[in-house]
Amino acid sequence: MLNRVVAGASSVIVAATAVFLSAPAATAAEGVLDAPSLPIVRTTGGVALPTSYPVQPTLTEYPADPTDASINRGAVPYAEIAPALNDLMAESDYVSAQIIGQSEQGRDLYLVTVTAPETPTETAQQTAWRDAIKHAPTAAAQDAAIAEGYKLPIWFNANIHGNEWEGTDATLNYIDQLVETAADPEVAELLDTTRLYFTVTANPDGRFNGTRATANGYDPNRDFITNATNTTTALRDITGLIQPTYFVDIHGYTGILQVEPCGPPHGENYEYDLFLPHAYSAALAVEEAVVAADIPGNTYDDGTGRPTTENTGKILIPYRDIRSGWDDWPPIFAPQYVAYQGAITNTVELPLGRVNNNPAQNQFNSAVDTEVAEVVIDSIIDYVVENRDPLLENQMEIFERGITGAEQTPIPADIAADDLEPGVPTEWTDIWDETDIYNATFPRAYVIPVDGSQRSRSDAEQLVEQLLVNDIEVTRATAPFTAGGTTYGAGTFLVDMHQPLRGLANVLLADGTDISDRIDSMYDISAWSLSLLWGADVVSVGNTTDPALSVTVEPVTTADLGGSVAEGGPYLSLEPSGTAEWQAITALLDAGIPLSQLDDGTVVLGKDAASRAAAEEAASLFGVDFAATDGLALREETTTSLRSLAVGYTTTDDRDVLLKLGIDEPVLVSAALLTSGAVDLSTLDVLFLGGNLAFTPAQSAGAAALSAYLARGGDVVARGSGGATFGVTNGLAQLTATTGTSGSNGIVRVDTPEGSLFGPSAQDTAFIYPATWFSALGEGVTVEQSYAADTFVSGHWATSPGRSTVDAAGQASAVSSETEAGSRFFLFGTSPTFRNHPVGAFSDIARALYWAAGPGTAVVPPITEDDLTDDTKTGVSVPEEATAGDTITVTVDAAFAGQELATTLFSEPVVLGTRTVSAAGTFEVTIPADTTAEVHRVAVEDAAGVLIGWDDITVLAVEVPGKVPGEQPGEGEPGTDEPGTTDPDGAGPAAPGDDVAVTGANDPLPLVGLAGALLLLGACLVAAKRMRAAAE
């Protein structure tokens, strides 16, 4: 995690060639690795609510800009918001403001709080009561002080879609009205008993630019469990701090004012018996207020769902009026996310939309929408004040059910008003039927292993970090334990489902449900499980009514377990099972560290000091683990060298996946950019296409540039039916692509064949929107993954001829190919980059990109005795003889002066260390004292591991009193055949002239005189050598 985070005989030929063609050594220095510019998990920004009220900083004011799109709409320009808030704070001590973050283009995100002033002691009491409501709801429900003194939090979120402006304008107007009427007893009482929170413009870039999306290209109201935007990250972080009892998200435009609750399917994990009655009753209260206001120019439902300016007394309420196609199924929208804090929530869609090329009409529509929104705000606040006690009781009951592990309370299809407790709103019961019934079964816990049973430890840690930033309680086992018949090790993460936010925890971690047969169509996505899409193995254990697991745990505040680099080796290896490993690989390659990949996906680093230092840094930065290896697999197996990548992309999703993998400065590619010459494809290694790349007749120059790229072997990774069209059109692969039913989306099972590029750690699930599969595969097209026989896990995939789950089953979901020109082509049929949510698939993307890009600088394999041939016996000289334990001088070419060279003693390789070469081309190494007395070979390598040369040396044994020279401890015992004195055939003593191997044997020297002479000779040689060394 980010801390913030040809085999066989031919290998001999390759190794021998490397002796003469020296590869560049790794060049990385300490501290040179870069973390990705975009994190996958956006940690909290340290936002905190004030410790007393008011807090009134002077907000930075920005110069007016006539290009602000708000102006043409007739809405408040962004530059006028800060001055307005500064004026309000100057006028009243009821108004506080703070900056909770910044947009992608650097604009401030404002949170305004309107409440009666509080001392630090009073604010601390409010905070304590808030926490008691969530974490001790049973006691809180009995606490009269909370009932009397807790300031009920009501939150209005405005302008999350940038070109839906009027929520901001209405918010500013409403705050101004509160300030102007603060002396009114009713207003004073309101501000004494509530805190009114306003996120004034949640998407200021979109407001300024006139776009629905944020400046980085995402719809923030689809981003609440992924957090690809600054907007949702900031809103996520304050959600638990505010802990609203009521939340309203103001949008536009639907032709008629529309106020949720939604129609089915309803999110399974809500306590819907507590949520729906007040959500619907409040919507009816808004309807009544807007109808009574009779705002000129406003529209109403004509009875058929069409707008009319005649006041018919009716707006649109999806639960009542839109029974299909406007649902609260996924937690990706602001109200559906915030509801897990025990809040009642509504999305409000203002009526009158944008009109092209008609400023006057736009300004009229904006004025009407602003007035309608003010009525909405006022009527919601009135409703909350009137229903304060039951709303707070509901919130505490939701938390209580989570903490105690109570099962949900199902609502029967035939529910009647008389079935409800006194005081519970009843209007909704007339509509409820069997199509509304969706319930969840909660497990006792989710277990996230980190031992060998886990597919990816780094992905598991990443998943836990995402849970933590969403305020999910996570613990870590401090000892081994058994759950569901499986034993898990210490360090295993657990999500005990007896917790206040159990609904949010379950909606994030459960597999989801296949609702294809229950509903005709969905408003948006229908599956999102982090357990199945974020790369980690997650195990559901037991039922919510089971006793707690028998395990000792500690709370987790960060998932980072740290990385490691094993001692020994001397090579290092990395198993790229998760996204963090691919981030590390990208950073290492960008820093100039050579990497080679084995057939099983393992990535090997060289044995040089720079590679090890970079690995140490990568382990710390990314939390990944490097193992020690002897590197022999580099000689014995087929390997692929990896290279630093320059990638072109076509979509926002693809761009950000690249950035999150650490592939910096990806290049936007389009037909127009290629035609204009703004993009030079010769600078790119791979094209990463989110669809087809087609050209009009007027864009022939761009088409020619693409053709030239492919003709010289340019590589492509693509996805979907558009990517298939590109591949077929440009001769990269012959196949037929079929897409699933329009609008189908969800999580599918996939099978990965042995030998696939995805490797042995491939996931068995993937996201689709929709699924695409490939058939009629031409020659040279390889299936890398297929849809499983039991294809669909969760989501919505309606049946249609030839496009259903049964048609996808067994068909290819990912393929690869290579053209005669050398272009490599990889094609995904799944949706691995969708809104940047399927994080586990990022590893698959990385594998495809690095495979497509082709070779880089290979890691030099280790030197073995096979490399020490007559041809390579050059460039190195050592003394002819030396005594074990002695220090010798090694001489190489003076051109190596100043370089660090490594020395190894063969036959059994013994590393003698790395030394710096002197100006004269020499350095010293020590022969180990336990070296056998025989002829050895001294081999010298450069920093990249390339053999410079070698030389023979005869090692003489150290004389030990009472021992025969050359005799090893324990040898030569009386009455035994002494090693070194037996004929190789085992027939008897070896005679002079017998063929006794030099390496690994001790020649008998039975004559004391000969032994003495040899010792004397050895001493003379040592003395002479030392004299030479001293002279140098």
Q: What is the pLDDT of residues 239-293, one digit of tens each?
A: 999 999 999 999 999 999 999 999 999 999 999 999 999 999 999 999 999 999 9
> What is the pLDDT, as a whole number, of residue 970?
44
3-class DSSP state of 156? strand
> What is the pLDDT, as a whole number, of residue 963?
55
- Give the residue-averaged pLDDT of 647-676: 97
Q: What letter does residue 548 receive in the DSSP assignment?
A: P
Instruction: Tell me the domains of the chain and their CATH numbers.
Output: 9-29+562-641 (no CATH), 69-410 (3.40.630.10), 445-555 (no CATH), 647-853 (3.40.50.880), 865-1031 (2.60.40.10)
- Give the residue-averaged pLDDT of 488-499: 97
pLDDT tens digits for range 46-59: 899 999 999 999 99
Question: 10 Å Cβ neighbour count for 481?
Answer: 19
Residue for token pair 């014995």: 636
Enumerate residues 6+ apart whose C-beta is below 8 A from 585.
Answer: 574, 576, 595, 603, 642, 846, 850
386 is catalytic: yes
pLDDT tens digits for range 824-852: 999 999 999 999 999 999 999 999 999 99
For residue 753, pLDDT over 50 is answered with yes
Alpha-carbon span 789 to 806, nearest angstrom: 8
Alpha-carbon span 546 to 558, nearest angstrom: 28
For residue 116, pLDDT over 50 is answered with yes
The neighbouring-strand residues paired with 904 are 911, 939
pLDDT tens digits for range 873-914: 999 999 999 999 999 999 999 999 999 999 999 988 898 999
Alpha-carbon span 328 to 865, nearest angstrom: 69
For residue 8, pLDDT over 50 is answered with no
pLDDT tens digits for range 616-626: 999 999 999 99
Residue 958 — very low, low, confident or very high, per pLDDT cuts 50/70/90? confident
For residue 10, pLDDT over 90 is answered with no
- pLDDT-wise least confident of 100-109, 701-710, 963-972, 979-988: 979-988
> What is the pLDDT, as a whole number, of residue 992?
35
3-class DSSP state of 950? strand
Integer-rounded Cα Rg, in Å, for the chain is: 36
- Give the residue-averaged pLDDT of 784-812: 98
pLDDT tens digits for range 920-952: 999 999 999 999 999 999 999 998 889 999 999
Do the Cβ atoms of 320 and 312 come closer than 8 Å? no
- pLDDT-wise least confident of 478-487, 559-568, 887-896, 943-952: 559-568
> What is the pLDDT, as a whole number, of residue 32?
84
**Which backbone phi and psi does 535 adopt, to 5 degrees?**
90, -10
Enumerate residues 6+ apart whose C-beta is below 8 A from 473.
Answer: 495, 496, 499, 500, 501, 505, 555
- Helices 457-469 and 579-590 cross at an angle (nearest 10°) of 110
Residue for token pair 């090890």: 612
Alpha-carbon span 714 to 766, nearest angstrom: 28
The neighbouring-strand residues paired with 451 are none
3-class DSSP state of 604? strand
> What is the pLDDT, as a whole number, of residue 996?
32
Residue for token pair 């509903």: 519
Alpha-carbon span 276 to 266, nearest angstrom: 10
Indicate which residue of 30, 288, 386, 908 is catalytic: 386
> What is the pLDDT, as a whole number, of residue 978?
35
Helix (H) or strand (E) holding 334: helix 334-338
The letter for the amino acid at 194 is T
> What is the pLDDT, as a whole number, of residue 4?
29
Mean pLDDT of the chain: 91
Estimate to the nearest angstrom the gap between the alpha carbon of 214 and the chain centroid: 20
Beta-sheet strand order (sheet of 603-605): 564-565, 625-629, 571-574, 603-605, 595-598, 639-641
For residue 981, pLDDT over 60 is answered with no
Residue 442: HSE in the Cβ half-sphere, 13 Å Cα cutoff: 30
> What is the pLDDT, as a whole number, of residue 962?
61
- Give the residue-averaged pLDDT of 573-585: 97
For residue 14, pLDDT over 70 is answered with no
Q: Which two tokens stand for residue 859?
A: 């890691």
For residue 233, pLDDT over 60 is answered with yes
> What is the pLDDT, as a whole number, of residue 964?
54
Do the Cβ atoms of 637 and 631 come closer than 8 Å? no
Q: What letter does residue 570 receive in the DSSP assignment?
A: S
Residue 361: HSE in the Cβ half-sphere, 13 Å Cα cutoff: 7
Higher pLDDT, 1031 or 455: 455
- Give the residue-averaged pLDDT of 724-749: 98
Q: In terms of Cα–Cα distance, which of 531, 500, 408 is closest to 794?
A: 531
**Which backbone phi and psi does 629 adopt, to 5 degrees?**
-150, 155
Residue 1005 — very low, low, confident or very high, per pLDDT cuts 50/70/90? very low
> What is the pLDDT, as a whole number, of residue 27?
46
Residue 415 — very low, low, confident or very high, per pLDDT cuts 50/70/90? very high
For residue 347, pLDDT over 50 is answered with yes
Do the Cβ atoms of 980 and 1001 come closer than 8 Å? yes
For residue 919, pLDDT over 60 is answered with yes
The neighbouring-strand residues paired with 668 are 649
H helices, E strands: number in the chain:
28, 43
Burial class (CB in 10 A: 0-12, 13-18, 19+), 438: buried
3-class DSSP state of 423? coil
pLDDT tens digits for range 679-690: 999 999 999 999
Alpha-carbon span 829 to 589, nearest angstrom: 29
Estimate to the nearest angstrom the gap between the alpha carbon of 611 and the chain centroid: 25
- Give the residue-averaged pLDDT of 995-1010: 35
Enumerate residues 6+ apart whose C-beta is below 8 A from 696.
Answer: 671
pLDDT tens digits for range 365-377: 999 999 999 999 9
Helix (H) or strand (E) holding 157: strand 152-158
Alpha-carbon span 393 to 277, nearest angstrom: 13
Residue 1021 — very low, low, confident or very high, per pLDDT cuts 50/70/90? very low
Question: Left (φ > 0), alpha (ψ -120 to 50) or beta: where does 822 sit?
Answer: left
> What is the pLDDT, as a whole number, of residue 43?
86
> What is the pLDDT, as a whole number, of residue 23?
36
Distances (CA, A) of 896 to 146, 527, 857, 893, 1031: 79, 61, 22, 6, 21
Burial class (CB in 10 A: 0-12, 13-18, 19+), 292: exposed
Residue for token pair 């913030």: 4
For residue 1025, pLDDT over 60 is answered with no
> What is the pLDDT, as a whole number, of residue 11?
30
The DSSP-derived string for 22-84 is PPPPP---TT-----SS-SS---------SSB-----PPP----TT-HHHHHTSPPGGGHHHH
Q: Which two tokens stand for residue 236?
A: 């996520």
- pLDDT-wise least confident of 614-628, 728-742, 749-763, 1005-1019: 1005-1019
Sign of CA dihedral 584, 587, 589, 592: negative
- Give the residue-averaged pLDDT of 505-521: 97
For residue 561, pLDDT over 80 is answered with no
